[in-house]
């Protein structure tokens, strides 16, 4: 018996890199030399959590410009090496423990049989359509022959992962055993196969043409609506792989493989593929965000959190803290707010660890203070001054401000070393992003403690330097301002929001303002205007919106009317426009020259691009990927575009600059005059991303 162990040293996961393929090829060279003495081969992984994670995505991301011939060769080269598993007169069994997905599942499918552990981390599937790709190493050809076209097409098109029990029920694996019994079970299977020679017949059957009993047209009819109804996969790739699997369902194996290669040429290097790959890398970065800071620091342990200000955001912070297991002391100067707090929190979290404070003195023994009062600099300073005299010297004081620089507040906190920005995005329950802002003197231990709390909240911390609006609100402001310019130019609410939904945002800008709260948007805009009146557009419409109390979700009426609308149905459903708001907009419309959807999309995204350049110039972040991460996690920037700065690279900076120059000629107010950074990049032929990976 031969045991082949897959193990990439110093890596948490095995990946099918060029080196891994070369090593497999070399291993089979050695096996071939003594094939006459071998009864069977077991392939296992040295990793407990991941059998094989799949293809080398870094290599794919850096070869998106391959020709069709190169893409086909990539597919054929992988199949050629895997085909060696079936080239000898003995059975090969995969002993699967942990995630066996993508190319890793294809490797297992090339084995004659598969044994899987009953570990909850053991999952199998072909999730390539999540990345705008299709399987390329015969997964689409083998899986239907194993479990039927219907189940295989559903798993592949919808990128469904299955556990080992389901895999056994479908026929994708032969046995499910305890992890420690995997190899012995595989050996027993080999002995059984040697006796029965079933594996020889199965190999011949796999290569032959066949007549499936599945209703192919019905499978297609059933799956296409499901593809369009899900946000989990790229619709284009999913439909292409479905068409391929239906079209080749009765073909012989080699013909089906050629069809798979052709399907890959249709998606490899597409816009969606490029964007989704970069989004994957961004999410991998997000998983590790802040880890280096924590490793290099000695963060204090946080057990008790004090929350000051228990409105909509503060109540969300109380709930998050309780769910994460912290003891919470909550205070608000408005008694009615505190009365509502327990009603809001009790159904969602264990409130036995919640104490309602009568005054600030109750915070004397808190480890962390989170301030979440109104966006008023003077009020915040006064509060921090009071808190600094009450809390312990080693307590961390943080602010949930969305726009005020820490530099304007830190001197009141009784020691800038312990003062940190801790900004949560709305809606707090759904948004994954937390901006962790480092002041000019903030100690790394304080930052590390906030990172740990954020992780315990099951959120993603992105650490950045101080500056007005930080990243999310800094980019939102010009985006919202441009939306108001467009609406005053003659386009309707629906036209603007639909254009940005079409671009890929879950909500349009006016829908997003209603979600955040139009009063919050108004106050943020005012503060931005006070700091830089020359570059900020304050629409005369916004004060009228506030005066009419069109605040959005919080009171059921904003740009849209939510009085008879289920907010939980967003973003799949759209609320009707507020009729009175439409009349109000008409009063401030200055033109009837409507813009088409593409122009609306360009104007709103270019407004953010200009601001992103300023953020980079000011050193708010050290890495361009953090801007794209904040946009995706905080604002729902479409994953299939990979991030604002990535997408600008992919569609060519020079093209954006030329289009912005055209807008600048029309608008004549310099807001679209390309930022100097963009001009320099065109001149030097450089990109925001130095590498696609």
| Active site residues per annotation | 106, 128
Q: Cα(448)–Cα(461) distance, rounded to whole angstroms?
A: 10
Nearest Cα neighbor of 12 from 53, 57, 42 is: 53
Cis omega (within 30 of 0) on the bond before 407?
Answer: no
Phi, psi of 2, deg, nearest 5:
-115, 130
- How do beta strands 419-424 and 396-399 pair? parallel
Q: How far apart are CA 98 and CA 161, in angstroms?
A: 12
Closest CA to 120 of 63, 165, 59: 165
Cα Rg, the chain, nearest whole Å: 29
The CA distance from 397 to 410, in Å, is 10
- CA-nearest of 94, 112, 121, 105 to 183 is 94
Q: Would you say 600 and 503 are in contact if contact means Cβ atoms under 8 Å apart?
A: no
Residue 314 forms beta bridges with which residues?
Answer: none
Pairing assessment for the beta strands 162-163 and 123-125 based on DSSP bridges? antiparallel
* Calpha distance 32→39 (Å, rounded): 12
Best CA proximity match to 89, nearest among 26, 22, 34, 21: 34
Place of tokens 């270019």: 606
CB 505 within 8 A of CB 475: no
How far is 460 from 466, CA to CA, in rounded Å? 18
**How many CB atoms within 10 Å of residue 101?**
22
Burial class from Cβ neighbours inside 10 Å (0-12, 13-18, 19+) for residue 607 reads: buried
Closest CA to 625 of 636, 612, 607: 612
Pair of tokens at residue 500? 């940005």
> ω into residue 418 within 30 of 0, thus cis?
no
What are 177's two structure tokens?
A: 């055993």
Q: Kindly report the three-state secondary structure assignment for every residue of 83-104.
A: HHHHCCCCCEEEEECCEEECHH
Token pair, residue 90, equals 């003995």
Q: How many CB atoms lie within 10 A of CB 457?
A: 19
Distances (CA, A) of 48 to 25, 167, 179, 271, 281: 24, 19, 9, 35, 23
Question: CA–CA distance from 249 to each of 223, 236, 260 (Å)?
Answer: 16, 20, 12
Q: 392 Cβ partners below 8 Å, 6+ apart? A: 364, 365, 366
The alpha carbon dihedral of 146, 151, 153, 158 has a sign of negative
Angle between helices 579-587 and 493-503 (to 10 degrees): 100
Asked if 97 and 45 touch (Cβ cutoff 8 Å), the reply is yes
Which residues, at least 6 apart from 690, have a Cβ–Cβ distance to it below 8 Å?
none
| SS3 per-residue string spanning 377-389 | HHHHHHHHHHHHH
């Amino acid at each position: 018996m031969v045991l082949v162990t897959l193990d990439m040293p110093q890596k948490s996961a095995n990946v099918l890199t060029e080196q891994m393929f070369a090593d497999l090829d070399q291993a089979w060279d050695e096996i071939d030399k003594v094939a006459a003495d071998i009864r069977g081969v077991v392939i296992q992984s040295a990793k407990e959590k991941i059998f094989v994670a799949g293809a080398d995505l870094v290599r794919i991301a850096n070869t998106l410009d391959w020709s069709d011939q190169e893409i086909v060769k990539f597919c054929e080269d992988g199949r050629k090496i895997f085909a060696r598993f079936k080239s000898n007169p003995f059975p090969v069994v995969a002993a699967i423990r942990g995630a066996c997905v993508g190319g890793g599942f294809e490797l297992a499918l090339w084995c004659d049989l598969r044994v899987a552990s009953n570990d909850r981390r053991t999952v199998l599937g072909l999730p390539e359509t999540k990345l705008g790709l299709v399987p390329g190493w015969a997964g689409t050809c083998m899986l239907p022959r194993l479990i039927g076209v219907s189940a295989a097409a559903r798993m592949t098109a919808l990128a469904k992962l299955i556990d080992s029990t389901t895999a056994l029920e479908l026929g994708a694996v032969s046995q499910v055993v305890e992890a420690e019994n995997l190899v012995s079970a595989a050996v027993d299977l080999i002995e059984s196969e040697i006796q029965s020679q079933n594996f020889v017949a199965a190999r011949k059957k796999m290569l032959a043409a066949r007549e499936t009993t599945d209703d192919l047209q019905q499978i297609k009819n059933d799956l296409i609506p499901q593809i369009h109804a899900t946000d989990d996969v790229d619709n284009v790739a999913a439909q292409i792989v479905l068409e391929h699997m239906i079209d080749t369902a009765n073909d012989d194996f080699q013909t089906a493989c050629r069809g798979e290669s052709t399907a890959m040429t249709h998606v490899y290097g597409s816009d969606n593929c490029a964007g989704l790959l970069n989004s994957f890398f961004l999410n991998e970065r997000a998983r590790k965000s802040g880890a280096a800071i924590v490793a290099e620091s000695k963060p204090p342990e946080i057990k008790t959190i004090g929350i000051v200000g228990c409105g909509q955001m503060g109540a969300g912070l109380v709930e998050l803290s309780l769910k994460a297991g912290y003891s919470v002391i909550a205070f608000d100067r408005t008694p009615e707010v505190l009365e509502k707090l327990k009603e809001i929190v009790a159904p969602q979290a264990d409130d036995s660890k919640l104490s309602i404070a009568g005054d600030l003195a109750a915070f004397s023994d808190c480890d962390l203070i989170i301030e979440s009062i109104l966006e008023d600099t003077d009020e915040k300073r006064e509060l921090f001054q009071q808190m600094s005299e009450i809390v312990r010297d080693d307590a961390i004081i943080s602010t949930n401000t969305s726009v005020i620089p820490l530099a304007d507040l830190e001197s009141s906190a009784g020691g800038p070393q312990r003062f940190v920005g801790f900004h949560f995005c709305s809606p707090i329950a759904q948004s994954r992003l937390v901006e962790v802002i480092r002041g000019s003197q903030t100690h790394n231990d304080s930052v590390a403690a906030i990172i740990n709390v954020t992780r315990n909240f099951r959120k993603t911390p992105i650490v950045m330097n101080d500056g007005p609006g930080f990243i999310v609100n800094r980019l939102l402001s010009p985006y919202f301002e441009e939306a108001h310019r467009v609406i005053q130019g003659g386009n309707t609410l629906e036209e603007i929001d639909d254009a940005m939904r079409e671009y890929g945002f879950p909500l349009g800008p006016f829908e997003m303002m209603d979600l955040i709260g139009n009063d919050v948007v108004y106050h943020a805009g005012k503060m931005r205007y006070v700091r830089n009146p020359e570059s900020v557009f304050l629409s005369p419409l916004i004060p009228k919106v506030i005066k009419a109390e069109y605040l959005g979700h919080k009171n059921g009426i904003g740009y849209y009317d939510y009085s008879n609308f289920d907010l939980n149905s967003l973003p799949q459903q759209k609320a009707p426009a507020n009729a009175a708001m439409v009349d109000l907009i008409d009063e401030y419309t200055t033109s009837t020259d409507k813009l088409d959807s593409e122009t609306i999309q360009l104007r709103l995204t270019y407004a953010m691009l200009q601001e992103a350049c300023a953020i980079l110039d000011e050193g708010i972040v050290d890495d361009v990927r953090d801007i794209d991460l904040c946009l995706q996690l905080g604002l729902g920037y479409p994953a299939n575009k990979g991030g604002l700065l990535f997408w600008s690279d992919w569609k060519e900076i020079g093209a954006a600059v030329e289009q912005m120059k055209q807008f600048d000629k029309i608008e004549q107010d310099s807001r679209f005059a390309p930022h100097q950074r963009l001009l320099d990049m065109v001149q030097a032929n450089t990109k925001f991303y130095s590498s696609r990976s």
